[in-house]
Amino acid sequence: MSNLAALDMNDFTARVANSPVPVLIDFWAPWCGPCKMLAPVLDTVAAHFGERLTILKVDVDQHKEVYERFQFRGIPALILFDGGKEIGRQIGVTSKLRLAALIERSVAAAREADATPKDPS
């Protein structure tokens, strides 16, 4: 299994919303075969992005409220946050290349949207 840090949902604001870098949360369960298949992909993505991305894991068996809070049904579920806002999502197993592309594309789009002047009217 992966060596990524676990997230207690009580720490969501401190570790996700207040993070200076984007945060990818892996919602998983110990009994989930696809979740186990995704673990090495997440380790590789973590190494690829280094300090530009934080990846945290949430055991859905310990935090059943996440299904309703984040509106997903299946695991593994990956949700990408920037500034505490969801900017990307992947349900199911994916490759390192596809996940890295999703992260880069989502972060770039979110930052571009934040930089776009808002119409005051």
Q: Which of 2, 19, 29, 32 is catalytic?
A: 32
Contacts of 97 (CB under 8 A, 6+ apart): none
Q: Which of 35, 38, 56, 80 is catalytic?
A: 35
Which helix (H) or strand (E) element contains residue 90? strand 85-91
CA distance 43 to 31: 19
Q: Closest Cα to residue 96, out of 34, 41, 28, 38?
A: 41
Which amino acid appears at position 89 of this protein? R
35 counts as catalytic: yes
The residues that are catalytic are: 32, 35
